Copies of this chain bind each other. A is one copy, B any other.
Amino acid sequence: MLTYSFAGIGPEPLYIHLYKCIKNDILDSILLPGTKLPSKRSFAKNLGISNITVENAYAQLQAEGFIYSIPKKGFYVTELPEDIIKRKEEQGRQDKRQAGYSSYEEESCEIDLVSNMTPPDNFPFSIWAKLMREVISEKSSELMKKSPWGGIMELRSAISLHLKQFRNMEVEPGQIITGAGTEYLYTLIIQLLGHDKVYAVENPGYKKVAQIYKSNNVACEYIPVDNSGIIIEELEKHGADVAHISPSHHYPAGTVTPVSRRYEILAWASKDKGRYIIEDDYDSEFRLSGRPVPTLQSIDIMEKVIYINTFTKSLAPTIRISYMVLPEKLLEKFCRQLSFYSCTVSNFEQYTLARFIKDGYFEKHINRMRNYYRNVRDSLMKEIKKSPLAGISEISEEGSGLHFLLKINTEIPDSEYIEICRKNHINVSCLSQYYNEESSGKNDGRDKQHIIIMNYSGIRLEDVGKTVMLLCKSLNLPYMV
């Protein structure tokens, strides 16, 4: 059945959004003439919206001649004159993105500075497909065997090698546990460390992390971060047991925790038996400048650090493989208590990814993407400096990951600016949104207004000019690229 996303559609009525999605799919020949549309009831159920919304959308489409109804049978797509389809086709990709086709959920706008997704066309699909074919023909018997709970050894060995090469980490393959996404691994960690622990997340920080702790019914505290990362005194003050942090690349503030603070965090953890650190290191492969800082895992001799990373962000959203590295004592505990869980990752993709890493394709991909992202970033900064934004804005934190901060001198509140942007088909987020509102203190979101998170990982090089133009337009600054 058709599925559309209703995420981030702004103030537009739901039925208008649905109407536009279907209309676009008809014009794009995704829905072909004669196709039966889903029944109102089942469509509404599927999309999680009311029957009335679907009815209104269908009525609008029917009124405009895009669909017709056959009594007691349902609604069907009309055969449109060819020139309408053609004209539409020439507009190409952008309209399709506008249609908000949910398979790539955050794409319901022209320019997306929010979603942290590598554009799919940057993924070396033909190589991946080649390796898949090899795995099918060479590994037929292995493919039919159950994966060990931690994942197949070939992949874990390949990851171990990768960690050595990229992060200078000495990790035994047996310490690596793979899982279908970091979200799943977080829930395993909760079961491993205990439901009675107090989990600390960064404030500001990724909301999803806190959401997962709360959804799993464990105490979750928001800990303020300063320019060096999480604040130790606040960890103590909040009675935290487990600190979930991203020292290599804080999102969204962009800070890299310096070595001195890293030692302080390790010292904090070593003060109590039940204290642990979850080092979330996603995207660290894409650090564009500066010297890489050693991971906490690599300087931890007290077995306090669980290192976690994913291929979903560095490769493609379709590859649902993440992993964690457990220190020996926790590995033993995991083995005793949680190895009854089957491995959640597809065997087949484990073998394919193992080859992809071992044969050097992953390294090539990362190098290629770093160049690509560097170009996007440089071009974006250059464009900003050429634009009217130059006089009223300031760029910071450009070195860590795939975003930088753009502080704008304006009176418009963030929420309002975001709305205006949305209407102009550009999806932006601001630093203030990443603060937990319930927790107060000096790092309150109210002090952090007017800072746009320039998350450029989803921006195509050819869209850089447009991006800056739309940011200007939303501030009422005329600018033509």
A interface, CB within 8 angstroms of B: 1-3, 42, 45-48, 102-105, 117, 120-121, 123, 125, 129, 132-133, 136-137, 140-148, 152-153, 156-157, 172-175, 180-181, 183-184, 187, 191, 195, 208, 211-212, 215-217, 312, 316-320, 328, 331-332, 335, 337-338, 340-349
What CA separation (Å) do A202 and B186 show in the bound complex?
A: 29
Determine if A173 and B346 form an interchain contact, defined as CB atoms under 8 angstroms apart.
Answer: no
**By the criterion CB–CB under 8 Å, are B332 and A148 in contact?**
no
CA distance A45 to B342 in the complex (A): 20
Cβ B328 vs Cβ A45 within 8 A: yes
Q: If A48-B335, A174-B42 touch, does A345 touch B318 (CB 8 Å cutoff)?
A: no
Per assembly, the copies of the chain total: 2
* Contact across chains for B344 and A184 when beta carbons are under 8 A apart: yes
Docked pose: A340 CA to B175 CA in angstroms: 29
Not counting A42-B172, A105-B146, a sample of 4 additional A-B residue pairs whose C-beta atoms are within 8 angstroms of each other reads: A1-B153, A3-B174, A147-B318, A320-B343
Contact of A174 among B1, B133, B195, B320 (CB under 8 A): B1
In-complex Cβ contact of A148 among B102, B183, B211, B318 (8 A): B102
Measured CB to CB, the nearest residue on chain B to A44 is B174
A331 CA / B332 CA spacing, docked (Å): 38
Whether the Cβ atoms of A45 and B148 lie closer than 8 Å is no
Given known A144-B318, A172-B42, A348-B318, contact A216–B215 (CB-CB < 8 A): no
Flag if A180 contacts B45 (CB, 8 Å): no
For A172, list chain B residues within 8 Å (CB).
Answer: 1, 42, 45-46
Contact check, A147 vs B347: say whether CB atoms are below 8 A apart.
no
A310 and B173 CA atoms in complex are apart in Å by: 30
Contact among B102, B141, B318 for A120, CB-based, below 8 A:
B141
Which of B140, B317, B348 lies in contact with A348, CB distance below 8 A? B348
Tell whether, in the assembled complex, residue A146 and residue B340 are in contact, meaning their CB atoms are under 8 Å apart: no
- Interface of A, secondary structure class, is helix
A346 to chain B, nearest CB (A): 4
- Among B42, B48, B102, B187, point to the contact of A187 (Cβ < 8 A): B187
Instruction: Give every chain B residue within 8 A of A344 (Cβ-Cβ).
Output: 180-181, 184, 320, 344
A–B pairs, 30, beta carbons within 8 Å: A1-B172, A1-B173, A2-B153, A42-B172, A42-B174, A45-B172, A45-B174, A103-B148, A104-B145, A105-B148, A132-B132, A132-B136, A132-B348, A133-B133, A133-B136, A143-B318, A180-B184, A180-B344, A180-B346, A187-B187, A208-B340, A211-B340, A215-B337, A318-B346, A320-B344, A320-B346, A344-B344, A345-B346, A346-B346, A348-B348
Chain B residue at minimum C-beta to C-beta distance from A194: B217
- Known A318-B347, A320-B346: A3·B148 in contact at CB below 8 Å: yes
Cβ contact within 8 Å between B1 and A157: yes
